[in-house]
Amino acid sequence: MVIQDLLDTPALQQAIADEARSKKISQAQARKIAEKYLHEIAANYSDTLVRLLDRFMTWCWSRIYNGIHIEGSERVRELAEAGHEIVYVPCHRSHMDYLLLSYVIYKEGLVPPHIAAGVNLNFFPAGPLFRRGGAFFIRRSFRGNKLYSTVFREYLNRLFQKGYPVEYFTEGGRSRTGRLLPPKTGMIAMTVQGMLRGQNRPMSLVPVYLGYEHVMEVGTYLKELKGKSKDKESVWQVLSSLRHLRNFGHGYVCFGKPINLGETLEQLQPNWRDSITTGAEEPERPKWLTPTVNLLANQIMYHINDAAALNSVNLCALAILSSEQHALSREKLVNQLNLYTQLLREVPYSRLAYVPETDGEALWELAKKHDKFIVENDGIGELIRLDGTTAIAMTYYRNNIIHMVIVPALLAAFALGHKRFHADQAEQLLTQLHPLLQQELFISHRAEDMGLWVRALLEQFVQLGLIQHVGDAQYRVAQRDSQAYAQLVLLARSSSETAQRYAIVLELLQQAQPISRNDLEQYAVQLAERLSAIHGIRAPEFFDKKVLSTLVATLKAEGYFNLTDSGDILAD
């Protein structure tokens, strides 16, 4: 019924006529193509299947997870009760995301969303099941196919107009490194265009942070990062993954601060309503659309990271990967876990971030159950370490929360580098680094707020005994033979890979100029790969070309280099 109704709308009638004319086929043939696209795309939501899935998933989650921690659902409920059109925009860690988020939304008494899923998941028997669970399918690219683009856009607009909640992943695909990926803006642009089609109800984008103590695809991600091509999804792959199901610890679903789309457009573009179109007219693509969508996409990523959740595994990974030879005594690990949680409780990354109330001892006991760490007792006490392969896998979990600790870690590194310093020096450095950190790790704090953040951290460092206040905003680090000094070193090392990557690019930029952007990125990757091999740096993102490319783009935007007439780079 929905498909036939859509085919008769003025916008699709016009698109069908254009297709017939451009392809020199009859209107009936063009209509058949449009109908085929709609059958490929459209969800076929079934209440009966959702109720059955509810019972099955309740049984399934009780065996897979020790619990699902939910934060911020009351914000979504308030939006639903106020009559908002809700668009969920979660980060993408695992294929579990679709199921877990829909299940939590349903259990919270809200309508499960229609989910934009890659067409690669439309295989038997998963495709029909997903479709009845609310999934609608989207191709990776619309380029060169105007009819498909129009069909998809009008189907999405119909979902908005009928009040169905919608969910899509702004990153486009699953993150292979554990960090947020740069956002893909296509679906966000179509959402804004939905407003330009005369959407009457208020519309809110709800960022969602999804976190896990165990992600079953991590092993596959590492192979793909090393160059193995991605396996095509199939029924055999699903059956194979079922063999790996076991207890995955805790899952975390944290709803971030909603973004009211109408209010945001009013702030960014007060005359946006002038671009509203209806009927057979194409939705406007005003000049302000692309820059506004880019700003909106980054805002979503900041809000996702604001709602991040610390857990036993990502905290233990952070501590042990920061240690020499990836090994810590139990006592040092527990002390470091207490340091992280106390620091992030007293100087929160954001007021929506989740920091467990559990102490370090209990966090280690929880993490130990996952068999990710090697525990040895050598007569002196317990030694906890990571071997080569596991250490690489654990970078994924650390990267889920690295944005929360990068500024405290860089501040610790600065303190250790100077031994005695003035608060103004630390503020200046972190403010200078802010654009690079924001682009790479989607830190939500503004540059002008860095000074306040640094001052608050310095006060807390003093409270924790990591540094001492010696008057007139002057500080010095703790005694070298103290426990506090060792903790400061571990905290600082959380930032070392980031700082080293910056150093590689900046050093190349100065020594090899003039240099083309392509050569700069290529040499930076080669040098990072060589240094990681020599020094045993396990993190795959250390020499990830996309991360280095983002860094170069930010340096350009911030004016750190100029371009010659031939397009080569000259350092400022």
Helix (H), strand (E), coil (C) string for 70-103? EECHHHHHHHHHCCCEEEEEECCCCCHHHHHHHH
Nearest to 392 by CA among 326, 336, 450, 476: 326
CA nearest to 245, candidates 372, 418, 122, 63: 63
pLDDT of residue 241: 52
Q: Phi then psi for 13, rounded to 5 degrees?
A: -60, -40
Here the contacts of 448-453 (C-beta below 8 Å, separation 24 or greater) are 450/407, 451/427, 453/347, 453/407
DSSP 519: H
- Which letter, b or e, does each residue of 383-393 get, where b requires 16 or more Cβ atoms within 10 Å of its Cβ? bbbbeeebbbb
How big is the chain by its Cα radius of gyration, in Å? Answer: 25
Long-range contacts of 47-55 (CB under 8 A, 24+ apart): 49/129, 49/132, 49/133, 50/106, 50/112, 50/133, 50/134, 53/103, 53/133, 54/103, 54/106, 54/107
Q: Whole-angstrom Cα distance, residue 500 to residue 506?
A: 10
Whole-angstrom Cα distance, residue 154 to residue 197? 10
Instruction: Give me the percent of the chain exceeding a pLDDT of 90.
Output: 63
For residues 24 and 145, give the distance between their C-alpha atoms in angstroms, rounded to a whole number.
15
Q: Between the CA of residue 206 and those of 14, 74, 469, what are the distances in Å?
A: 33, 12, 42
DSSP tag of 309? B
For the stretch 111-155, pLDDT in tens is 999 999 888 787 777 788 889 888 999 988 787 888 999 999 999
SS3 510: helix
Contacts for 197 with CB less than 8 Å, ≥ 6 apart: 157, 161, 276, 277, 278, 283
Nearest to 398 by CA among 150, 177, 172, 72: 177
pLDDT for 231: 60
Quick one: pLDDT at residue 258? 97
Q: Please state, as a whole number, how many other Cβ atoms lie within 10 Å of the Cβ of residue 499.
A: 17
How far apart CA 424 and CA 496 sit, in angstroms, is: 22
Q: Which two tokens stand for residue 117?
A: 């899923």
Residue 259's SS3 state is: strand
pLDDT less than 50: residues of the chain: 235-236, 238-239, 242
